[in-house]
């Protein structure tokens, strides 16, 4: 395995609990795979960075990220930041935009022994991460929102062929490694130009993958289909906002947002980031579920293994997920999943199972 240098940004709320827990699990998996230890580099970000450096994401942090192999980003609570930081692009958005992390990969897979609404769920939402209907991603400067009068607010949605082509290829390549089916989600019947372009370009890219089955579904119908028959879906590709909404729904179907992992990636860089928020109401109480952050960290290892042709990194990624699932299967879980384990106790259980090869 290549010697990797990984950045660590603990973030706010439960971040300083679940990120170190994930680092422990990665270290255990890497050791079990017989590889050299990861070199961790902690970087300031979030409320503590505002206090110590006058910025939620200091320039030195952004500069350091550019020289690392990948990053772990804990949740943040930008809504609680003082002005002017509250109104600025949040730390995750700033990083994604700066490094053009255009693909947001969000798996949803039920846990044996968990509390999933649809335990047979096993799908991946591939979300375009740079354009669409989220205004803060749509302009070179400014937020993409404006008010011509105090009573009128306008937000721009942007769709471009190059951005749709590259996210579609991520979805189809991923489907080839899974069950070879892609569902394109859109609203082309109403948003004929913007969402219509997304649908059309995705279907054009599909012609390059004759071995992958493809269909397309309107966003409103897709919410119903996920509720009724989530096991029927494999890889779902969607624009920014639609993908965000569907991935939260899929995460709940699989168990909870506390187990929903996510990876933000470009062709050259990747950042592990749980799909959930900072949960300030339970911060510091040992109640936080670290599964989403652990699985996100495993996704980063898998991405590194694929990018560098490194089978030990891929092996370590498999061990992370296997250890987490083995712990839940054995009845060890945090209170949000119906268990009684603390964050630390659950982490101990996962590390123990990775070390024993369970």
Q: Give the pLDDT of residue 104.
A: 97
Omega before residue 230 within 30° of 0, cis: no
Within a 10 A sphere around the Cβ of 105, how many other Cβ atoms? 25
Catalytic residue chosen out of the listed positions 12, 234, 244, 336: 244
Q: Which domains does the chain have, with CATH numbers?
A: 1-95+285-358 (3.40.718.10), 117-254 (3.40.718.10)
Does residue 244 have an active-site annotation? Answer: yes
Does residue 267 have an active-site annotation? Answer: no
Alpha helices in the chain (DSSP H): 15-32, 47-53, 59-66, 91-99, 161-176, 194-206, 219-229, 240-254, 291-308, 311-329, 343-356
**pLDDT tens digits for 107-136?**
999 988 777 889 999 999 999 999 998 866
Q: Do the Cβ atoms of 216 and 251 come closer than 8 Å?
A: no
Catalytic residue chosen out of the listed positions 187, 209, 234, 310: 187
Q: Give the pLDDT of residue 344.
A: 97
Does residue 285 have an active-site annotation? Answer: no
Q: Give the pLDDT of residue 115.
A: 76
Does residue 281 have an active-site annotation? Answer: no
- The number of residues making up the chain comes to 358
Query: What angle separates helix 161-176 from helix 194-206, to the nearest 10 degrees?
Result: 40
**pLDDT tens digits for 31-40?**
999 989 999 9
Does residue 248 have an active-site annotation? Answer: yes
Query: What does the alpha-carbon distance between residue 232 and residue 220 come to, in Å, rounded to a whole number?
Result: 17
3-state secondary structure at position 214: strand
Catalytic residue chosen out of the listed positions 134, 199, 234, 310: 134
Q: Give the pLDDT of residue 1.
A: 58
What is the token pair recorded at 353? 């199972």
What is the token pair recorded at 22? 């994930």
Catalytic residue chosen out of the listed positions 100, 122, 136, 248: 248
User: pLDDT tens digits for the chain (358 residues)?
Assistant: 568 999 999 999 999 999 999 999 999 999 999 989 999 999 999 999 999 999 999 999 999 999 999 999 999 999 999 999 998 889 998 999 899 999 999 999 998 877 788 999 999 999 999 999 886 667 777 778 889 999 999 988 999 999 999 999 999 999 999 999 999 999 999 999 999 999 999 999 999 999 999 999 999 999 999 999 999 999 999 999 999 999 999 999 998 888 999 999 999 999 999 999 999 999 999 999 999 999 999 999 999 999 999 999 999 999 999 999 999 999 999 998 889 999 999 999 999 999 998 7
């Amino acid at each position: 395995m290549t010697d990797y240098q990984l950045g660590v940004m603990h973030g706010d709320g439960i971040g300083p609990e679940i990120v170190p827990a994930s680092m422990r699990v990665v270290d255990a998996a890497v050791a079990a795979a017989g590889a050299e230890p990861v070199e961790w580099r902690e970087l300031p970000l979030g409320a503590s960075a505002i206090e110590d450096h006058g910025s939620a994401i200091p320039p030195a942090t952004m500069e350091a990220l550019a020289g690392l192999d990948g990053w772990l980003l804990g949740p943040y609570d930008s809504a609680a930041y003082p002005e002017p930081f509250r109104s600025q692009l949040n730390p995750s958005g700033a990083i994604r935009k700066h490094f053009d992390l255009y693909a947001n990969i969000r798996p949803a897979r039920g846990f044996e022994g968990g509390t999933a609404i649809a335990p047979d769920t096993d799908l991946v939402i591939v979300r375009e991460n740079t354009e669409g209907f989220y205004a803060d991603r749509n302009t070179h400067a400014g937020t993409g929102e404006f008010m011509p009068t105090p009573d009128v607010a306008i937000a721009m949605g942007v769709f471009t062929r190059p951005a749709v082509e590259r996210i579609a290829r991520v979805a189809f390549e991923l489907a080839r490694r899974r069950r070879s089916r892609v569902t394109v989600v859109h609203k082309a019947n109403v948003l004929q130009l913007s969402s219509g372009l997304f649908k059309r370009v995705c279907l054009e890219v599909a012609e390059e993958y004759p071995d992958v089955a493809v269909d397309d579904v309107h966003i409103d119908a897709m919410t119903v289909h996920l509720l009724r028959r989530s096991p029927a879906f494999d890889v779902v590709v969607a624009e920014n906002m639609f993908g965000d909404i569907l991935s939260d729904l899929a995460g709940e179907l699989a168990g909870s947002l506390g187990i929903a992992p996510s990876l933000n990636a470009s062709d050259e860089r990747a950042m592990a980031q749980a799909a959930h928020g900072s949960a300030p109401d339970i911060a510091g109480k040992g109640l936080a579920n670290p599964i989403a952050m652990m699985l996100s960290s495993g996704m980063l290892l898998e991405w590194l293994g694929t990018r560098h042709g490194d089978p030990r990194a891929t092996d370590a990624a498999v061990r992370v997920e296997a250890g987490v699932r083995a712990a839940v299967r054995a009845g060890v879980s945090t209170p949000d999943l119906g268990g009684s384990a603390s964050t630390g106790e659950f982490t101990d259980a996962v590390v123990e199972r990775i070390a024993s090869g369970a």
